Amino acid sequence: MDKCKIERINQLAKKKKADGLTQPEQMEQKQLYKEYLADIKANVTSQMNSMVIEKPDGTTVAVKDMKKGNNNN
């Protein structure tokens, strides 16, 4: 997310606390939050996919290859 959008999120948050937002501003804020959260989720997923776990026996397993709920991988 670019710096301008983050600044706009902050502007809308400050205005919401001070004066409240108009309906169009509320819709804009909701859309910006949605984009921001999608970016965060994508970044976390990318980081998790590049992580490797080293087991006590010295073998390694990429986190992205581990099955959900299966710790024996």
Please report the beta strands in 1-73, taking only residues with DSSP state E, as ranges in sequence order. 52-54, 60-62
One digit per residue, the tens of pLDDT, for the chain of length 73 reads: 899 999 999 999 999 999 999 999 999 999 999 999 999 999 999 999 899 999 999 999 888 888 765 555 5
At 72, list the tokens: 């024996």
Residue 18 resides in a domain: yes
Residue 10 resides in a domain: yes
Query: In 3-state terms, what secondary structure has residue 69?
Result: coil
User: What is the tally of helices (H) and strands (E) in the chain?
Assistant: 2, 2
Query: In 3-state terms, what secondary structure has residue 3?
Result: helix
How far is C-alpha 23 from the geometric centre of its chain's CA atoms? Answer: 26
pTM, two decimal places? 0.72
Residue 70 resides in a domain: no
Domain with 29, as residue range(s), is 3-65
**Could you tell me the CATH number of the domain that includes residue 39?**
1.10.287
Instruction: Answer whether 70's CB lies under 8 Å from 54's CB.
Output: no
